């Protein structure tokens, strides 16, 4: 075994003994094997291994697309994960491009990351019947992760991701919607967000005599039973989806569009009959029955700017009136209530497991510089009476011992951001302050899928290593696929992981020109690079 450079000893010791989740009294877990990226020592390269395993042919193929509380520890090193392809499993029984997935998982292990993240969809696990689950495909991926000695983050998603090759909802749920489309979120023009169940039906028996909350619990429990033997060896984190794309927010972007590319103000989603019933009831209880007839009459359209509508106008807008406060407080309260119910259900299922529970919130930095924060308000985050709009959410997360995942650790200011009143730095500080105030942990992801700009990697590195305010407990890089393993991207990602896991290194320790030219390249024999 080759000698480890002395200057890396401290970082390696830290990486080898990275703390695991504290959930579950007395839970013990053997430390993960951690890969130590060497300098230019000889041995096999991951590039050749991946080609031999067929990964290059798969991912490079032309045209192929593939409730316990946590003490916040600002000094603990962030665990690093890499997201597996969103469509790793699409029919419940098999793994898509299994050979490529296995080789990609091995590459993550050789790089020195802690593990991978696997999206697990309700629509895939329970596609045809409310009485039967299919876990074979997901278990096959979990077996691959366990074979490499890595940690596994599972993201349990109750709502799908449009355009990702995965059904948004089980087909039997969609059939119910054909007769009752109001179970979907609806905008002022009657546009339905198919695949996004309204928060107002959480506890209503509208799906084959059961409520969505009961069905979510069945999904969580079935997973917990099917993967019981993985919790003591492999599964370290469970992320619970709280809305479209797995994020706690209203789908305030146009129906059918990609939420990750939308930077407008958005529209309120309160026009399905169930949301309107709750709005009317709330207005009566407040002694303002007329306020509950509908949403704001002067609310924005999806692509409006703040000053183009009366509601969010910077000065004199309706949002500053008693009615505006009434509506926005109710609207945001519905969002927090939904998150509280789902996380409470998840905690009842996973509270006794040695895993860290987490959920994702949106990083809506555009128009954050406006006083009304319109994009955030339309998505359900309301800053009332000059209070932090993320405070109620952070308080709710802390109550369930849930880590807040922020998908914006890579966002840097640019010209487009300036034109939309963006303020990512201020937004991240606001989120961290809310978490610190209420004792919630924070974690991160990147907002842009597969980055090629050095500045973005530098931004992530700064956000996950800084001790200012609070340090994320883990970071997940999204997401593995053809672009991820491309020559333009992978060498930069390799340097990023090395810098985070092993700290700074001399120029001689960085990738050689030959390595930079490879699609995937990490030197060193396997037995010399693992513990």
Q: Is position 483 within any domain?
A: yes
- DSSP letter for 217, please: H
CA nearest neighbour of 77 among 101, 118, 112: 112
pLDDT-based confidence at residue 73 (cuts at 50, 70, 90): low
Confidence of residue 7 (pLDDT cuts 50, 70, 90): very low
Could you tell me the CATH number of the domain that includes residue 377?
Answer: 3.20.20.80
Domain annotation covers residue 20: no
Q: Is the pLDDT of residue 319 over 80?
A: yes
Q: 43 or 435: whose pLDDT is higher?
A: 435
Q: Is residue 205 in some structural domain?
A: yes
Q: How far is CA 290 from CA 200, 300, 308, 327, 512, in A?
A: 20, 20, 25, 12, 70
Q: Is residue 69 part of a domain?
A: no
Q: Taking residues 399-409, what's their average pLDDT?
A: 95
pLDDT digit string (tens) for 163-211? 678 888 999 999 999 999 999 999 999 999 998 999 999 999 999 999 9
Of 502, 497, 498, the closest CA to residue 12 belongs to: 502
Question: How many CB atoms are closer than 10 A to CB 417?
Answer: 18
Does residue 487 surpass a pLDDT of 50? yes
461 within a domain of the structure (yes/no): yes
The neighbouring-strand residues paired with 445 are: 476
pLDDT band at 77 (very low <50, low <70, confident <90, very high): confident
Place 413 in a pLDDT band, splitting at 50, 70 and 90: low
Lowest mean pLDDT among 65-69, 118-122, 431-435, 522-526: 522-526
Give the separation between CA 340 and CA 249, rounded to whole angstroms. 13
305 band by pLDDT with thresholds 50, 70 and 90:
confident
What is the pLDDT, as a whole number, of residue 411? Answer: 86
pTM value is 0.83
Question: In this structure, what is the dihedral angle of CA atoms 273, 276, 277, 282, given to the nearest 10 degrees?
Answer: 170
**Better-predicted residue by pLDDT, 173 or 449:** 173
Q: If you average pLDDT over each of 340-344, 370-374, 485-489, 494-498, which comes out highest? A: 340-344
User: How much of the chain, in percent, has pLDDT values that exceed 90?
Assistant: 58
Tens digit of each residue's pLDDT (9 = 90 or more) over 331-343: 999 999 999 999 9
Residue 128, pLDDT > 50, answer yes
Task: Classify residue 132: in a domain, yes or no.
Answer: yes
* Domain extent at residue 226: 79-265+332-502
Better-predicted residue by pLDDT, 360 or 456? 360
Closest among 259, 230, 221, 249 to 146, alpha carbons compared = 230
Domain count, the chain: 1
How far apart CA 438 and CA 468 sit, in angstroms, is 17
Mean of pLDDT over the chain: 81
Judge whether residue 37 has pLDDT over 80: no
Question: Alpha-carbon distance 275 to 501, whole Å?
Answer: 47
Phi, psi of 157, deg, nearest 5: -105, 120
pLDDT score at 19: 35
| pLDDT above 90: residue 476 | yes
Range with top average pLDDT, 154-158, 385-389, 446-450, 454-458:
154-158
Q: Is the pLDDT of residue 213 over 70?
A: yes
pLDDT value at residue 15: 35
Quick: pLDDT tens for 240-270.
999 988 999 999 999 888 777 788 889 999 9
């Amino acid at each position: 075994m080759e000698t480890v450079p002395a200057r890396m000893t401290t970082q390696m010791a830290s990486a080898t003994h990275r703390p695991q989740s504290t959930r579950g009294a007395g839970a013990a877990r053997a430390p993960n094997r951690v890969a130590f990226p060497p300098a230019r020592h000889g041995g096999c390269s991951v590039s050749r291994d991946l080609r031999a395993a067929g990964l290059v042919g798969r991912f490079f193929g032309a045209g192929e697309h593939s409730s316990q509380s946590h003490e916040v520890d600002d000094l603990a090193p962030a665990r690093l994960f890499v997201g597996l392809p969103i469509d790793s499993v699409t029919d419940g029984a098999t793994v898509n491009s299994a050979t490529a997935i296995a080789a990609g998982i091995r590459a993550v292990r050789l790089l020195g990351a802690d593990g991978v993240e696997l999206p697990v969809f309700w629509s895939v696990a329970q596609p045809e019947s409310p009485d039967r689950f299919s876990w074979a495909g997901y278990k096959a991926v979990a077996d691959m992760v366990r074979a490499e000695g890595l940690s596994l983050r599972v993201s349990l998603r109750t709502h799908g991701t449009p355009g990702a090759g995965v059904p948004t909802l089980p087909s039997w749920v969609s059939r119910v919607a054909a007769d009752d489309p109001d179970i979907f979120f609806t905008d002022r023009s009657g546009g339905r967000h198919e695949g996004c169940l309204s928060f107002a039906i959480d506890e209503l028996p509208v799906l084959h005599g059961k409520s969505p909350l009961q069905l979510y619990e069945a999904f969580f429990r079935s997973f917990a039973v099917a993967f019981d033997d993985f919790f003591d060896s492999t599964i370290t984190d469970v992320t619970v989806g709280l809305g479209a794309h797995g994020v706690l927010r209203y789908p305030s972007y146009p129906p059918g569009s990609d939420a990750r590319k939308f930077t407008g103000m958005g529209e309120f989603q309160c026009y399905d009959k169930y949301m309107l019933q709750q709005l009317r009831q709330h207005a009566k209880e407040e002694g303002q029955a007329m306020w509950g007839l509908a949403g704001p009459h002067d609310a924005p359209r999806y692509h409006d700017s703040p000053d183009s509508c009366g509601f969010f106008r910077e000065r004199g807008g309706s949002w500053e009136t008693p009615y505006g406060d009434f509506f926005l407080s109710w609207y945001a309260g519905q969002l927090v209530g939904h998150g509280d119910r789902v996380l409470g259900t998840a905690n009842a299922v996973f509270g006794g497991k040695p895993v860290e529970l987490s959920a994702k919130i949106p990083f809506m930095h555009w128009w954050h510089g406006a006083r009304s924060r319109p994009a955030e308000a339309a998505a359900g985050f309301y800053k009332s009476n000059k209070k932090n709009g993320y405070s109620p959410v952070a308080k709710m997360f802390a109550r369930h011992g849930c880590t807040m995942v922020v998908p914006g650790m890579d966002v840097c200011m640019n010209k487009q951001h300036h034109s939309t009143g963006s303020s990512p730095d201020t937004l991240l500080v606001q989120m961290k302050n809310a978490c610190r105030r209420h004792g919630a942990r924070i974690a991160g992801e990147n907002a842009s899928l597969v980055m090629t700009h050095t500045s973005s990697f530098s931004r992530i590195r700064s956000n996950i290593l800084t001790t200012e305010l609070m340090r994320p407990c883990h970071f997940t890089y999204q997401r593995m696929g053809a672009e991820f393993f491309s020559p333009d991207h992978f060498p930069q990602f390799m340097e990023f992981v090395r810098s985070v896991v092993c700290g700074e290194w001399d120029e001689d320790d960085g990738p050689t020109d030959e390595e930079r030219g490879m699609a995937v390249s990490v030197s060193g024999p396997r037995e010399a690079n693992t513990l």
